[in-house]
Amino acid sequence: MNVPAKAHSPHAADRPIFAILLMNLAVLIFTSMDGLVKHVSEIYPTGQIVFVRNLFAFLPLIGYMLVVEKRLQLRTARPWGHVWRGAAGVSAMFCYFLSYRLLPLSDAIALGLSGPIFLTILSVPLLGEKVGWRRWSAVTVGFIGVLIMTRPGSGIFDVAALVPLLASVFYALAMISIRRLAATEPPTTIVFHFTLFATVAALFTLPLGALDAGLAWRWPQSLDELWPLILIGIMGGAAQIALTTAFRRASVSVVAPFDYMALVYGFLIGFIVFSERPDRYLIVGGAVVVASGIYIIHRETVLARQRRRKASVPSLPVTE
């Protein structure tokens, strides 16, 4: 799931209840979209699904920019920043979508929620952040949760479980790129350039069908096959707008924890639509990962407040 480029503008109205409702709506739409992606994965290759997800996302995105923001602000002075963000983001999307094809939906979503763990780890070498014992402890607990879900050494470990974990690593790299871009770029500009990059990048999977028939793109044979593809893109774009608006209307500490409602929605959709029954290891491990992620978000918020208070001395990093 994509976190907005700029979490909370001090100039935006502070409406926490509205923001929480929007965040839940965004997560519900994203998770429903994931279920639809799993459904069409039986017909279409992952590269084609990534293409339509981004192509049709332009419909709500451009509509929002024209109607609400009254402008299309697309110019950027940091094209390479968008390239790096796009490369990491489209890699994460590809791995997430592939994991829905390879694993039960609830398993893929639960494992994919480990993104904040990798974000904390990668922020040390890539952002120069100093991570104290509290966040390292949360990271360790989060990894224990991942181990509970995957159960390596039990004889039933599925190599496919590595796909959503790899997606979480790419997700963390994308978030780091967004943090850098957000200093100068408006949120919708970053989302637009990513959507454009992902659409073009997905086209490069088109020739792969000549190498493997399973990767070959196919034209929808009926309206029943076409409408899910269009709906995936529209849902993705609409959810991104709701997500971005939610983070503009309340602080990260209020909104971000509700991202983990994806686990609940994923369990429900997996059970109702795909007759999936998550086992106790997935439930316990998922709960541990969620608790770890929420604590990491809490510490990030605390440290962000400290950094703002110490903004007059930017050369001194904030430690825990």
Structural contact between residues 278 and 270, judged by C-beta atoms closer than 8 angstroms: yes
Residue 198 confidence (pLDDT) above 90: yes
8 Å CB contact between 148 and 292: no
> Burial of 161 by CB count in 10 Å (0-12 exposed, 13-18 middle, 19+ buried)?
buried
CA-wise closest residue to 26 among 267, 241, 232: 241
Question: Using CA atoms, how far apart are residues 283 and 266, in angstroms rounded to an integer?
Answer: 12
Average pLDDT over residues 288-308: 85
160-171: average pLDDT = 94
DSSP 2: P
pLDDT value at residue 30: 96
- Residue 136: count of CB within 10 angstroms of its CB: 14
Give the E-state strand segments of the chain in sequence order.
none
Confidence of residue 7 (pLDDT cuts 50, 70, 90): very low
Mean pLDDT across 22-39? 96
**Mean pLDDT along residues 216-226:** 91
As a whole number, mean pLDDT of residues 299-313 equals 74
User: Which tens digits make up the pLDDT trace of 115-128?
Assistant: 889 988 998 898 88
Residue type for position 247 = F
Helix, strand, coil proportions of the chain in percent (round to 5)?
75, 0, 25
What's the confidence (pLDDT) of residue 2? 53
User: Alpha-carbon distance 210 to 236, whole Å?
Assistant: 29
Q: What pLDDT band is residue 205 in, cutting at 50, 70 and 90? A: very high
- The predicted model gives 260-284 an average pLDDT of 92
Tokens of 197: 């990059």
Q: Is the pLDDT of residue 232 over 90?
A: yes
Q: How far apart are CA 101 and CA 97, in angstroms?
A: 7
Angle at 123 between CA 261 and CA 168, to 5 degrees: 40
Q: Average pLDDT for residues 241-262, to the nearest whole number?
A: 85
What is the reported pLDDT for 75?
Answer: 86
For residue range 53-102, what is the model confidence (pLDDT) as tens digits? 999 999 999 999 999 888 887 888 899 999 999 999 999 999 999 999 99
pLDDT at position 271 = 93
Average pLDDT over residues 4-19: 60
Res 201 pLDDT > 80:
yes
The span from the CA of 320 to the CA of 266, in Å, is: 34
Nearest to 173 by CA among 100, 99, 91: 91
Nearest one of 18, 57, 10 to 240, comparing CA atoms: 57
Helix or strand (DSSP H, E) at 155: none
How high does pLDDT run on average in the chain? 87
Look at residue 316 and tell me whether its pLDDT is greater than 50: no
The average pLDDT across 268-286 equals 91
Closest CA relative to residue 134, chosen from 146, 126, 142:
142
Where is average pLDDT lowest: 6-10, 22-26, 142-146, 222-226? 6-10
Lowest mean pLDDT among 37-51, 138-152, 189-203: 138-152
- Cβ atoms of 249 and 12 within 8 Å: the answer is yes
Q: How many helices (H) and strands (E) does the chain have?
A: 13, 0
Instruction: Report whether pLDDT(6) > 50.
Output: no
Distance CA 232, CA 253 (A): 29
